[in-house]
Amino acid sequence: MNPNSANKVDKDMLNNLKSWARANSPWAIHFNSGSCNGCDIELVATLTPRYDLERFGVLMRGSPRHADILLATGPVTRQSRDRLIRIYEQMPDPKFVVAIGACALTGGVFRGTYNCLDGIDKVIPVDAYIPGCPPRTEAIIQGLVALLGSLKPTPDAEPVTEETDV
């Protein structure tokens, strides 16, 4: 076998392995950029034994440098904008953002107010949107599972790598 194609096979296998690991055990961080805490309470409920988000491999982390997924709640306020961007930039690639709740999607009830910049995607890219005010715990889990499903490597798909945007 040509050494170059052997290297490519090794690299593809490694990328597939990394994609598989990421889809089955993603690490996540939560950031509230101005929520009323309703969405945060529903998100915290996903971690309780009743809903047990960890059964899907999702682990919450305290540092953005360890996180694959940013779980964002609330509208973006002028005060939180820079912190949200800093946290996003500190996450390693590839990274994914989930906007949770009407406020994170559009600004919700705070939309158009003097200190609100509306939805998360006005500031950073968003990969998954979970609507609701607040979304039910089950809806948050469903949205996360759908995102994880899209990260799973398939035979025909390019593996998600540091160089490939999703």
Choose between 23 and 36: whose C-beta lies nearer to ligand SF4: 36
For residue 74, state whether it binds ligand SF4 (rule: CB under 6 A): yes
The Cα–Cα gap between 11 and 5 comes to: 10
DSSP state for residue 19 in the 8-state scheme: H
When binding is defined by CB under 6 A, the residue of 94, 119, 134, 159 that contacts ligand SF4 is 134
Stretch that binds ligand SF4, among 35-43, 57-65, 114-122, 142-150 (CB under 6 A): 35-43
Distances (CA, A) of 114 to 75, 84, 107: 12, 19, 12
For residue 38, state whether it binds ligand SF4 (rule: CB under 6 A): yes
Closest approach of ligand SF4 to the CB of residue 48, in Å: 18
When binding is defined by CB under 6 A, the residue of 36, 130, 141, 148 that contacts ligand SF4 is 36
Closest approach of ligand SF4 to the CB of residue 120, in Å: 12
The Cα–Cα gap between 128 and 69 comes to: 10
For residue 57, state whether it binds ligand SF4 (rule: CB under 6 A): no
For the record, the structure tokens of 127 come out as 């990969």
Contact predicate 101/137, CB 8 Å = no
Which stretches of 1-153 are DSSP H helices? Answer: 3-24, 38-46, 81-90, 102-106, 137-151
The Cα–Cα gap between 76 and 67 comes to: 20
Choose between 71 and 103: whose C-beta lies nearer to ligand SF4: 103
Contact positions vs ligand SF4 (CB under 6 A) = 35-36, 38-39, 73-74, 101-103, 108-109, 133-134
